[in-house]
Structure 1
């Protein structure tokens, strides 16, 4: 089937045409994505989300002259967005860690900070053991997601998910504390 005919069928909602496009281009696009994103799990997530979005927006896409080149062009935009989000997230984590390590000058501030840490640890102890461990390694020991992944033998996406779970639960538990604004 010619590319334009296949693409038109895909745009009309033909799942077989979509599967053909997916299987034809997955390996090349995965290789391309991995060449730009070092984290293979993140690269795979980006590519899977790309194909989901491609399916969802199929009817609004133009018919490309060359499907492969068109897919790479669209994927580049998704990769740049993913890298930008990851960079922003890493900078926020670094700034939070730096803030916690700043010198506290007054005795009242030290007591307040000690109380906040006590609250945080109390609520952390309510987390499931693995989620608590991931949170401690990330937020208190300032380990990166790849480091934690290697230490615990879990994928980086699993570590991100567990960290997200910890953050959500602690936000709910600490909603009256200023710590919830920092998570």
Structure 2
């Protein structure tokens, strides 16, 4: 230990040769991943060399090394648990987001189709229909605004709905089938 603290590379090499195998096996038994066990032990020796001048093990040197490996294993296990919890929460989140996005896209497409069909109505019928449905005006208010009778407003709205049902009925059905 004193030779290691003074920076003696031969002492470090001796410690490495003596402890690498047993520490690796100890780590591998716990985490069952050869690469991760090797990395963990390599990290221990890297730490050991970089902190050699400040090391003051309170127990035997081998106990210090095994304790360091054990604590590192516990950190890895805790990190994996958090990682698994996070990864398991992702599919539900992405499916919800995907579903919501898909729903909004279809909603916009359907709204564009409906708007196109409304624009294709005869001008007077379209004006009456838009005042009725978009501006939420009563038949009486529309009749006064456009200088029509309430009966003709009612007739325009009824005919507009009939045309839109005919044109959009098949479109909405197909849209629903293909984009479900």
TM-score relative to the length of structure 1: 0.51
Residue 66 of structure 1 and its aligned partner are, at CA, apart by 2.7
Give the whole-Å Cα distance in 2 for the aligned partners of 1:89 and 1:32: 23
Find out whether 1:81 has 2:50 as its counterpart: no
Report the aligned-residue RMSD.
2.5
Highest RCO, 1 vs 2 (Cα 8 Å, sep ≥ 6):
1
Structure 2 partner of 1:17: 11
> Which whole-Å CA distance do the structure 2 matches of 1:111 and 1:16 have between them?
73
Q: CA deviation at 1:95?
A: 1.6
Shift of residue 63 of structure 1?
4.8
Match of 2:47 among 19, 30, 53: 53
Q: Is the 8 A contact 1:46 1:82 kept in 2?
A: no
Unmatched segments (≥5 aa) in structure 1 = 1-6, 113-183
Deviation at 1:94, TM superposition (A): 1.8
1:102 alignment partner, SS class: helix
List runs of 5+ in structure 2 lacking aligned partners.
109-180
**Compared with structure 1, are the counterparts of its residues 21 and 64 closer, same or farther at alpha carbon in structure 2 (3 Å cutoff)?**
farther
CA distance in 1, matches of 2:39, 2:73: 10
Measure, in 2, the Cα distance between the counterparts of 1:87 and 1:46: 18
Return the offset for 1:31.
Answer: 0.8
Bigger Rg, which one: 2
- Note the C-alpha offset of 1:32: 0.5
Partner of 1:165: none
Give the count of matched residue pairs. 106
The equivalent residue for 1:67 is 61
**Where in structure 1 do 4 or more consecutive aligned residues deviate above 6 Å?**
109-112
Give, in whole Å, the separation in 2 of the partners of 1:111 and 1:56: 61
* Contact 1:34–1:40 (CA under 8 A) maintained in structure 2: yes
Does 2:104 match 1:108? yes
